[in-house]
Amino acid sequence: MGLAEWLKEFRELHGEAKRKALVGPDLADYRAARDELARALLAAQHVALHAGQKPRQQLRVSRALQADLEFADGRVRAMTLEISAGGFAALLAKPPRPGEDLKVSLRVPGGEPIHAGARVVDVKAQPGNARASFQLVGLGEDDLERLEMFVFDAVLEQLQK
């Protein structure tokens, strides 16, 4: 089976999974296919790494989602630059402290906002703002699955272009 055929079948499975129409072995087959696609895309990202760069552990996509961040010293509303099931990056006017814990609410399409804890894992100062990367912590299984679905919706959309 060629790549185009495989992607067509995966798109169909993904649609069924989003409608919660897959159970048992069919759901297991979908998740295995999703993992296979993620591994292939991550491997492609690793090939493009420059010397000294750390490879990604989770598939991420460039998508803007509203993120309400609650730090110990106040609240901030931001838009994500990238998102994965494990975290996200956003531009902030004021750089947070690496290692700082916070609460986050992400407005993922198709349901209520996802509420979780987060930890600042990286901050890069830029002129006039800072790019901060956050690791999500304490995500429930259903919210984790919603984020995975969102990421793979974006992946499939990009692969159509």
CATH of residue 128's domain is 2.40.10.220
Q: Does residue 152 lie in a domain region?
A: no
- Tell whether 97 and 53 lie within a shared domain: no
pLDDT at 45: 64
- Tell whether 106 and 117 lie within a shared domain: yes
pLDDT at 161: 62
- Tell whether 72 and 52 lie within a shared domain: no
Task: Count the domains in the chain.
Answer: 2
- Tell whether 113 and 127 lie within a shared domain: yes
pLDDT at 50: 46
Q: Does residue 40 lie in a domain region?
A: yes
- The yes-or-no verdict on residue 53 having pLDDT over 50 is no
pLDDT at 46: 60
pLDDT tens digit sequence for 111-145: 899 999 999 999 999 999 999 999 999 999 999 99
- The yes-or-no verdict on residue 42 having pLDDT over 80 is no
pLDDT at 68: 98
Percent of the chain surpassing pLDDT 90: 62
- The yes-or-no verdict on residue 88 having pLDDT over 90 is yes
Q: Does residue 153 lie in a domain region?
A: no
- Tell whether 74 and 128 lie within a shared domain: yes
Domain that holds residue 26: 3-57
- Tell whether 64 and 119 lie within a shared domain: yes
As a whole number of angstroms, the distance between CA 1 and CA 140 comes to: 36
